[in-house]
A = this chain, B = another copy of it.
Amino acid sequence: MSKGRLEAFSDGVIAIIITIMVLEMQAPHGTDVGALRPLIPVFSSYVLSFVHIGLYWNNHHHLLHAVKHVSGAILWSNLHLLFWLSLVPFVTAWMGENQFGQWPVALYGFVMLMAGIAYFILTRTLIRHHGPDSALRAAVGRDFKGQLSLVIYVAGILLSFANRWVALGLYVAVAFMWLVPDRRIERTIQ
């Protein structure tokens, strides 16, 4: 089975997720610049989620690039990832509309954690299907960043009840870790 439609369907779902989040930012009734102030937390969570979803699309693009053929298990691992990503607009809205409350920040981290786990499962399913000597296996490598991200999300969820700004800072840190070119960060950490 070819991977063309898997890519097309994932592109479609991710494109919709990244775009409908902006519907939460409803136009204010006033026309002063001050009318935009209540939207600052909504806008900030939108930016954070846009970058996260953009990262997933980017990584998905790279991952699928090395894929040769797909199986039923791969289709479902992919849908599982899309399921958790589809909840991002909801947690983004809850977090943004409530000035980054404790529970919203924790739930945001939880959905990100589950998306990270789903991505990890998808990676394993792909490797199992292509074999331990495949180009895909080599491309994924030790997946140090993927596993570190999961640890940071868990820390963020727990810390959101102590200090939600620290939790948010951790979520932002994960995004930065993926944004900067690969080798640099891995060397710094090791």
Q: Which residues of A contact B (CB under 8 A)?
A: 1-2, 5-9, 11-20, 22-29, 31-33, 35-36, 47, 50, 54, 57-58, 61-62, 64-65, 72, 75-76, 79, 82-83, 86-87, 89-90, 93-94, 97-98, 101-104, 107, 179, 181
Could you pull out 22 A-B pairs where Cβ atoms are within 8 angstroms? A1-B62, A5-B7, A5-B11, A7-B8, A9-B11, A9-B15, A9-B57, A16-B16, A16-B19, A20-B20, A22-B86, A23-B89, A27-B90, A29-B97, A29-B98, A31-B98, A31-B102, A31-B103, A35-B103, A57-B79, A58-B72, A61-B75
Asked if B17 contacts A19 (CB within 8 A), the reply is yes
Contacts of A22 in B (CB 8 A): 86-87, 89-90
A27 and B93 within 8 A (CB): yes
Copies in the complex: 4
Q: Which residue of B lies closest to A10 (CB)?
A: B15
Shortest CB-to-CB span from A181 to chain B, Å, is 7
Bound-complex Cα distance A50 to B81 (A): 12
- In the assembled complex, the CB of A33 is this many whole angstroms from the nearest CB of chain B, namely 5
Whole-angstrom CA separation of A12 from B17 in the bound complex: 11
Please tell me if the beta carbons of B20 and A16 are within 8 angstroms of each other in the complex.
Answer: yes
Are A90 and B5 in contact (CB-based, < 8 A)? no
Q: Which of B1, B31, B75, B87 contacts A104 (CB 8 A)?
A: B31
Docked complex Cα distance between A58 and B5 (Å):
10
In the complex, the answer to whether B20 meets A19 with C-beta atoms within 8 Å is yes
